[in-house]
Structure 1
Amino acid sequence: MRGGVDRRLCEEFSPGYYGICTVGGMLSAGTTHLAITPFDVLKVNMQVNPIKYNSISSGFSTLWREQGPSSLWRGWSGKFFGYGIQGGCKFGLYEYFKRLYSNVLVNDNRTFIFFLSSASAQVFADVALCPFEAIKVRVQTQPHFAKGLADGFPKLYATEGIAGFYKGLFPLWGRNLPFSMVMFSTFEHSVDIMYKNIIQRKKEDCSRVQQIGVTCLAGYAAGAVGSVISNPADVIVSAFYNKKAETVLQAVKNIGLANLFTRSLPVRITIVGPLVTLQWFLYDTIKVLSGLPTSGGFSRRLEKEAAAANLSG
Structure 2
Amino acid sequence: MSDSKSTSLKAPFYIPQFTAKDYSSFFLAGALCCTVTHGAMTPIDVVKTRIQVDPEMARMSLLSGGRRIVAQEGPAALLTGFGPTAVGYLVQGGAKFAGYEFWKKQFVQIAGDQETAVKYRTAIYLGASSVAEFFADILLTPLEATRIRLVSQRGYATGLMTGFARLAREEGLGGLYAGFLPILCKQIPYAIGQFTVNEFCHELAFRSMSEETKRSLSGTAKFGISLGSGIVAGFAAAILSQPADTLLSQINKGHGPEGSMPYRLRVLAQQAGFRGLFAGLGPRMIMTAGLVAGQFLLYGVIKDALSAPPGLEIHKENSAAHT
Following superposition, the deviation at residue 238 of structure 1 comes to 0.3
Following superposition, the deviation at residue 84 of structure 1 comes to 1.1
Secondary structure of 2:49's match?
Answer: helix
Partner of 2:183: 172
Partner of 1:309: none
Following superposition, the deviation at residue 204 of structure 1 comes to 5.4
1:16 equivalent in alignment to 2:21: yes
Q: Among residues 57, 69, 94, which one is paired with 1:88 in the alignment?
A: 94
Q: Among residues 5, 28, 48, which one is paired with 1:43 in the alignment?
A: 48
Cα pair 2:30 2:95 within 8 Å, conserved: yes
Secondary structure of 1:256's match?
Answer: helix
- Taking the aligned partners of 1:237 and 1:90, their CA distance within structure 2 comes to 20
- Taking the aligned partners of 1:90 and 1:270, their CA distance within structure 2 comes to 22
Kindly provide the amino acid, as one letter, of the partner of residue 271 in structure 1. Answer: M
- List alignment gaps of at least 5 residues for structure 1: 1-10, 306-313
Partner of 1:184: 195
**Same amino acid, percent of matched pairs:** 29
Kindly provide the amino acid, as one letter, of the partner of residue 43 in structure 2. Answer: P
Q: Summarize deviations over 1:112-164 as a string: whole Å, max 9, x none.
A: 00000000100011110001001000001111111211101211111101111
Cα pair 1:188 1:296 within 8 Å, conserved: no
Q: TM-score, with normalisation over the residues of structure 2?
A: 0.84
Counting matched residue pairs gives: 294
1:101 equivalent in alignment to 2:116: no
Q: Among residues 291, 295, 303, which one is paired with 1:275 in the alignment?
A: 291
- Taking the aligned partners of 2:212 and 2:134, their CA distance within structure 1 comes to 35
Following superposition, the deviation at residue 294 of structure 1 comes to 5.5
Q: Summarize deviations over 1:193-247 as a string: whole Å, max 9, x none.
A: 1112267657556455544432222111111111111100000000001112241
Q: Among residues 69, 72, 79, which one is paired with 1:66 in the alignment?
A: 72
- Taking the aligned partners of 2:126 and 2:53, their CA distance within structure 1 comes to 31
CA gap of 1:205–1:137, structure 2 versus 1, over 3 A, is same
Cα pair 2:26 2:308 within 8 Å, conserved: no
- Taking the aligned partners of 1:32 and 1:199, their CA distance within structure 2 comes to 34
Partner of 1:218: 229
Q: Which structure's CA Rg is the greater one?
A: 2
Kindly provide the amino acid, as one letter, of the partner of residue 266 in structure 1. Answer: G
- Taking the aligned partners of 2:199 and 2:82, their CA distance within structure 1 comes to 30
Following superposition, the deviation at residue 185 of structure 1 comes to 0.7
Partner of 2:39: 34
CA gap of 1:147–1:302, structure 2 versus 1, over 3 A, is farther
- Taking the aligned partners of 2:107 and 2:193, their CA distance within structure 1 comes to 17
Q: Summarize deviations over 1:38-86 as a string: whole Å, max 9, x none.
A: 0000000000014335222221111111111111000000110001110
Partner of 2:306: 290
CA gap of 1:190–1:17, structure 2 versus 1, over 3 A, is same
Cα pair 1:211 1:294 within 8 Å, conserved: no
Secondary structure of 1:145's match?
Answer: coil
Secondary structure of 2:320's match?
Answer: helix
Q: Summarize deviations over 1:169-195 as a string: whole Å, max 9, x none.
A: 000000011111122111111111111
Cα pair 1:215 1:295 within 8 Å, conserved: no
* RMSD of Structure 2 on Structure 1 (CA): 2.4
Secondary structure of 2:313's match?
Answer: coil
Kindly provide the amino acid, as one letter, of the partner of residue 144 in structure 2. Answer: E
Cα pair 1:192 1:297 within 8 Å, conserved: no
- Taking the aligned partners of 1:56 and 1:93, their CA distance within structure 2 comes to 33
Kindly provide the amino acid, as one letter, of the partner of residue 301 in structure 2. Answer: T
